[in-house]
Amino acid sequence: MAGNYAVIESGIVKNIIIAESGYEYDGAELIEYPESVFCQPGMFYNKADGLFYDDKEYSKINSKN
């Protein structure tokens, strides 16, 4: 089944795609995320909580906080 994936390079979201489970993206890590989680290119991925942040300090999501 297809899902939403963030294309991650060096901890930064480079792109977001819809792909089938098991799809591989050369040179990047794919992180599946639910529609309820906000994600867009340029955000920073925090592996500890699985969320995407506006800043590298992981203090703002979608310009909130």
In a domain, 58, yes or no: no
Note down the domain range covering 36.
2-53
Read off the pLDDT of each residue in 7-23 and give the average, rounded to a whole number. Answer: 97
pLDDT bucket at 65, cuts 50 / 70 / 90: low
Number of domains into which the chain is organized: 1
Rounded CA-CA distance 23/48 in Å is 23
**8 A C-beta contact, residue 8 and residue 30:** yes
In a domain, 21, yes or no: yes
63: amino acid identity, one letter: S
**8 A C-beta contact, residue 65 and residue 53:** no
pLDDT tens per residue, range 21-55: 999 999 999 999 999 999 999 999 999 999 999 99
- Structure-token pair, residue 60: 């703002």
In a domain, 63, yes or no: no
In a domain, 12, yes or no: yes
